[in-house]
Amino acid sequence: MDGPVVALDAVDAAYEGERSAALHGVTLRVRAGERLVIAGPNGAGKTTLLEVINGLLPFQYGEVRVFGRAVAAEGRRLRTRIAYMPQDLSFPPTTPFLVRDVVMAARYAQIGPFRWPSAEDRRHVACALDAVGIRTLAGRPIGRLSGGQQRKALLARALAQGSRLLLLDEPTANLDPVARDEVARVVSRVEEELGATALVVSHEAGPLRDGADRLVCIEDGRIVADTPQTPSRAALVPAGVA
Amino acid sequence: MFHLPWHIVLPTLLGTVLVGALCSALGTLVVRMNLSSLGFAMAHAAFAGAALGLTLSAAEPLWFALIFSGAVAAILGPLADASRMNADTILGVVFPVTMALGLVFLYTAPSSGIGSGALSLLWGSVLGVTMSQVAWLGILSAAVAVLLLAFGKELLALLLDRKLAEAAGMPTRATFYGILFLIAIVVAVSLRITGGLLIYALMVLPASAAFQWAYDIKKVFVLAPVLGVGSAFGGALLSLGADLPIGSAIALSATAVYLLSIAASPKRRRPR
């Protein structure tokens, strides 16, 4: 598509029952293939921005378009084309789901009603698990994994959806430095191979931020800075990975 | 073995087996989604509705049970859905109202009085089941099985995590309301066998027991009806053999299955 993948125009959004808006007049354009890192203090509106883009949080003013389509009108249909990794989700030990089923569930909306996953869907899941290095955990209960392993499973889930737009909310939270580098490489590889666009919330310095095309800073629900990043993320991707 | 003739015993046993499978299969959804309070409220609303049917001398009081439990699903579902009302509040408001209404209707019913047929709505009856009702229960069981299979992906996504399902574009709201109305139907239809007071035991206990045995929700969906059928059949045998109210006997049997599952659960074993 020629236009921006994500376009917000003067968007105000507030959570139900709250008087003050979480986003104020946010205008943003994200082009295909860009990696945009969103930073800011706690409560600044980073997660809210992602939830408005994928239509989970209704906005009161302005317009949000994804892949050229209005989120307000086509939210659910658009969400099947947007991979989302939430920040605050963890699975308690009693969760009765295996890792492979958690990842497969990301594809259910695309499979459509009255049909069950095909061999092709299972292949997507296996590739996603491979990409984040947890294929050996596929048959384990998700609640029995460590916090970092659960984050990887959620990242695999986002990848398995096969979307060209990734919304990743703190994907490296709870990960050790080695795993953080791995996640950054995975995101870079997806961007390179699929031409995917990624909006990544990350308030910590590290390879995800270093490899970004743009750094957008939010404070009090307003974008206060939007700056190109150097060096290019190409320097981050080891030879032979992309 | 039993003091009742087989033409009464057989429909009772068949009916309880089907109710056991139905209630515990849906119980998997109830337990996993923390809908216990809402389901409990629906069960008591169904009891109040059936009591009203008796007061009005309706040919089939269970239609009134269906209307009442469906109304609770329609009114309280949106409140619970949007977390505008917590589970304790739902229970605290609906339980006394429905119980009070049900007892007032029973009191004014033409055949009221302890031991009357009307009171079987409270604790169930082995005498109230006919082969035609068993046939309807069989059709409902088959329909529920088909629905669970047809919408399996939607249900699994919702049971994993509602926000994740919504973010992936699943029709979470429609699925949620579908589950509520299915529970309302099953509660109303099962009322005659288990009674309004204790039907909920058959919905929650076998499913909770099944969760003790498996980490895979698909296995829980298979195991819960097996335990539900076992609980219901055991309860029916206890009721017929010892001349106990069938609802109470099934609740005791299901409780025993649950306690055994807790004690033997592999999830509670410490690694050596």
Domains assigned to chain A: 1-81+171-242 (3.40.50.300), 90-162 (no CATH)
Does some domain include residue B42? yes
Domain ranges, residue B152: 6-111+121-200
When scoring B32, B160, B216 by the number of chain A Cβ atoms within 10 A, the one with the most, hence best to mutate, is B160
B262 is a domain residue:
no
Report chain B residues whose CB lies below 8 A from the CB of A124.
none
Cα–Cα distances in angstroms (integers) from residue A237 to residues A49, A161, A210, A217, in the given order:
28, 23, 11, 25
pLDDT at A239: 36
On the question of a cis peptide bond just before residue A171, with omega within 30 degrees of 0, the verdict is no
In a domain, B207, yes or no: no
Q: DSSP label at A88?
A: S
- The secondary structure of B159-218 as a DSSP string is HH-HHHHHHTT--HHHHHHHHHHHHHHHHHHHHHHH-TTTHHHHHHHHHHHHHTT-SSHH
Token match 């032979």: residue? A240
pLDDT in tens, B64-90: 999 999 998 888 777 777 666 676 777
Q: Is A80 on the interface with B (CB under 8 A)?
A: yes
- Which residues from chain B sit within 8 angstroms of residue A113, using beta carbons? 150-151, 154
Q: Is A23 helix (H, G, I), strand (E, B) or coil?
A: strand
| Angstrom distance (rounded) from CA A107 to CA A160 | 7
Q: Is B154 on the interface with A (CB under 8 A)?
A: yes
d(CA B182, CA B21): 14
CA nearest to A18, candidates A49, A58, A56: A58
Q: Tell whether the model's pLDDT for residue B124 goes beyond 70.
A: yes
Judge: B215–A116 Cβ closer than 8 Å, yes or no. no
Backbone angles phi, psi at B196, to 5 degrees: -70, -25
Is residue B102 domain-resident?
A: yes
Count of domains in chain B? 1
> pLDDT tens for residues A183-203?
888 888 777 777 889 999 987
* pLDDT tens digits, B253-269: 999 999 999 999 988 77
**Which residue out of A69, A79, A81, A110 would a mutagenesis test of the B interface target, given it has the greatest number of B Cβ atoms within 10 Å?**
A79
**ipTM of predicted complex:** 0.87
CATH code assigned at B37:
1.10.3470.10
Distance from CA of A5 to the nearest CA of B (A): 18
The string of DSSP codes covering B233-254 is HHHHHHHHHHT--HHHHHHHHH
Give the SS3 label for residue B56: coil
DSSP A41-85: STTSSHHHHHHHHTTSS--SEEEEEETTEEHHHHHHHHHTTEEEE
Out of A86, A94, A96, the one facing B216 most closely (by C-beta) is A96
B211 touches chain A (CB under 8 A): yes
Residue B232 lies in a domain: no
Consecutive H or E run containing B19? helix B6-32
| B34 in any annotated domain | yes
For chain A, the straight-line distance linking the first and the last C-alpha, in angstroms and rounded, comes to 23
Residue B266 included in any domain: no
Which A residues in the span 170-229 are in contact with B, Cβ-Cβ below 8 Å? none
